[in-house]
Amino acid sequence: MSLLPTGPIWPRGEGSVLYKISGAWAASFARSSDRAGNLLVDAFPTSTTELLPEWEATLGLPDPCAGVNPSIEQRRAQVVARLTDTNGCSVPYFIAFAKALGYDITITQFAPRRFGARFGTPFGGDAWAYAWQVNAPQFTINRLKFGDSFGQPWAQWSNNVLQCELKARAPAHTILLFNYGN
């Protein structure tokens, strides 16, 4: 009632028609206001829950990279990584892209054996000029976070999304290797 205009044509008495109508509408207006506030949170990919399917549809997700039942957090990370992806082919680009997906990696680059190379360096043919190795933990653990929806597993151990997304972005002439250490 306090949000309505004031004046003689706006009676606020308990028996008035306006009072009865506003009582009937109040619950609906409160729900609409709450949903509008939630939309502000849901409009951003890093915090979305209800609009996540729309974000995924825009980006061609979900794809086989994520597996059968990815968590909400993994789905959000993949959406954010694809939205913020600027494309590139440098080592810092791939490390940053993996970080956006939720993976901490390093990259090892190789080179073919050359005359004058230090003794003890591994011998490699010309193809090693195009090889690079992604070094990642054996298992990346994605844990359930506060705000995730019910029914999600407490934790998932997987590097499938990392491998699939990097293979899709690796330059065509390169050889991509994965090393999952301890």
Query: Which pLDDT score is estimated for 182?
Result: 54
Residues 30 and 114 in one domain: no
What CA–CA distances, in Å, run from 57 to 30, 43, 75, 115?
Answer: 31, 15, 12, 52
Query: Are 7 and 88 part of one and the same domain?
Result: no
**47 within some domain:** no
Domain holding 85, by residue range, is 52-181
The parts of the chain modelled with pLDDT lower than 50 are none
**Within this chain, do residues 58 and 20 fall inside the same structural domain, yes or no?**
no
For the stretch 10-57, pLDDT in tens is 888 888 888 888 888 888 988 998 888 888 888 999 999 889 999 999
